[in-house]
Amino acid sequence: MTDQHPVELILARGLATNLTTAVFLVDANGTLLFFNEPAGALLGVQFEEAGPMAADEWSARFTPTTPNGEPLPVAELPLALAMGGRAAHAPMRIQSATGEVRDIEVTAFPLAGRSGQTGALAIFWDRSG
């Protein structure tokens, strides 16, 4: 039986849908729940096509590295830090689903509701020029 997401995540998705900044939304387990169209443009795939995916799946699929191309441990990703309860910001390089390499900056912060932390939200800033 399907359970609804906490209202903070529902409202966050509603906000993200209406933003022109790229937004990536995960639940308390790090599972990708949604990314909006601007994020889809950076990732080379739209959410409707990609669908929800577990943390290890999305972190592998978009292969985030340092700006120099060195491996970036999943635990050091801003979203992973936000899952731990604090805001984080980092420059990184990702490979889109179409193989395009993009330099972005990621700002992530936890979403904490009255029942505790329900997820985290990341904003992607395109620095590829």
Partner 1 sequence: MRVRICGTRGSVPTPGLASTRYGGNTSCAHVTLSDGTHVILDAGTGIRNVDLDGADAPVHVLLTHLHLDHIQGLLFFAPLFEPGAEVTIWGPAAGAIPLRNRIGRYMSAPLTPVEIRELPSRLEFRNCPIGEWRLGSARIHAEAVIHRGPTLGFRIEDADATLCYLPDHEPALIGPLEEMGDEWLSGYTLARDSDLLIHDAQYTDEEYPAHSGWGHSATAHVVEFAARCRVARTVFFHHDPSHTDEQLDQVLNDGRERWADRGRDPATLELAREETVLDVGVPVA
CB of 18 to partner 1, least distance (A): 9
Beta-carbon count within 10 A of 64 CB: 23
CB of 70 to partner 1, least distance (A): 37
Q: How far apart are CA 7 and CA 107, in angstroms?
A: 22
Edge to edge, what strands does the sheet with 22-27 contain?
Answer: 32-35, 22-27, 116-126, 101-113, 88-95
Closer residue to partner 1 (CB): 7 or 19:
7
Strands (E), the chain: 22-27, 32-35, 88-95, 101-113, 116-126
Closer residue to partner 1 (CB): 59 or 118:
118
Closer residue to partner 1 (CB): 39 or 106:
39
CB of 98 to partner 1, least distance (A): 27
CB of 85 to partner 1, least distance (A): 18
Q: Which residues bind partner 1 (CB under 8 A)?
A: 1-8, 10-11, 13-14, 17, 113-115
Query: Which ranges of the chain would DSSP assign to H, the alpha helix?
Result: 7-17, 37-43, 47-50, 55-61, 78-83
Closer residue to partner 1 (CB): 29 or 98:
29
**Position 99: which residue type?**
G
